Structure 1
């Protein structure tokens, strides 16, 4: 919520000026908005932000803090995924900023960027407009957080619209500005690298003679590996029974695509040949001696799977109880995203033997066992 926080900071500087006149509906609604934000009540926050803007428009027209409040409302609606509803206040803030209204309190570049995010759609024009706005804003360090959010919006839209080259470029910008991401910046970088890698895989697959290794696939492999390494340690630190974390999902996605790409680029006759390597990849050195795994019956390749790779990868986790028995099992990632590969695993994995033990001086019982299962047509 970095854009919202930025706008709050600007507006707060003028709260004392509001307080000099009473009653002051603008200040009253703004205070209610801030209280709702602090309480995590985003619906009430939006309602109060809209009321503050309306009160400012009625009292000051385009003057006062109208532009700041309009930008604040637009940013909040973008945060809530209400892009269409963000257009009107974003346009209002942008118009006032562009008009050079004295003491508008809004940076024209920032207002233009927020408007570009609000107008983003599956049409090429709005996406190209936002890309140009990001190029302009990216030259300024003080707008780094806003560039991250705009690039994230653009990358998701381009990937959804299957414009894979544009998506890969946008994910690169997301990764390069992830240090300014709200929340966990390290995780934000891992997610950007992983999804950038996925975009490059799709881009390579769409090219002629796609069975040949492409530079895009090598780049994708590096990005996916980088994403895995970023979140790997966090998985090692998870206790047994912990709720599935975003880090686990990110690792699962990156690892599944990484291994599916490995299978595609190499001639693997038997998808279970490298089972041991993958089964114990996340454990400390020697920990495999404390893990007993018997994958019987093995999953079958889903013959009805319709994907151009003829390969698939599914990442599973087994949470262990204090006695070394499985207490919970789940799939944390798969690639390609065809559910048939996941279905093939879920049909049989409750019959597998997975158990952990302690061996003093050699290894300790691990709380979570992660298995990566690769599929390829024989």
Structure 2
């Protein structure tokens, strides 16, 4: 069981790699960061028209989180380190995409996507539709996001909510269940600008494969690609509550579910989408309709959130079966401190999710 304030999963498999914890097509244990790096290698090898741009992404540094290590050595000037200008990085990436190539660009810390907001809001997202005919713009903007690393107020935020609802802009989040290569392929195939959020702590966890999460939980993918991951305790088909959360919340949601099941006899299902906006709830509505309580969790602060958007979509779809409000879990209304003990007080923990589920069930 995870003690209050802990973020490691202990007994669950996302904390340390299992002996067979591999990603599809990769031999041996692999963590999310390694899997992401291997996916980018594969994409660049397969597509000579693909470019990757970002601050310090070239060797020997290979990016702040080493996601791009080895790429510039292998693929030359299609991988370029840029000046410190997030607006310039996204603008050049969108220009390459408009010119007929494809681009993946990295914002070193997702907080600084705010500096590229004009490029996303007024250039990239509009360029697909404002010239009198449809225009392809295959662009992916990678945003390492989230706290729990002690990086302080301007390097720990989860800015997803600030981009929800922009016409022409699709939002995704990395998960340990969805193959990164296939996810990138899907995003580029949309031929429209996409933002991919990557939780920085998730980088250290292992990828799940073959329907196995750990000793207690299993998962399946449902819906059209990229689809949803549905995570439940092995052998359980009925559940008291459903937690809906993006990929960065996976470790905390599973820790909460483990304690709820073993200590409170509350069975939960966890629903994790790779595509977070626009959101297709159709594949998971049967799981939601049968639950006594629904909890939507996210890392950002409350107010105009992704979770509120999920609830907005769920209420008309489930009005006939809901008997209590949908619970929303968000970070505290605060900047994120650098000191770890203070950071834990304002960021979502496994205990936050556990308590929200119990409150929603009236326990």
* TM-score, normalisation: structure 2: 0.28
Larger radius of gyration: 1
RCO higher in structure (CA 8 A, sep ≥6): 2
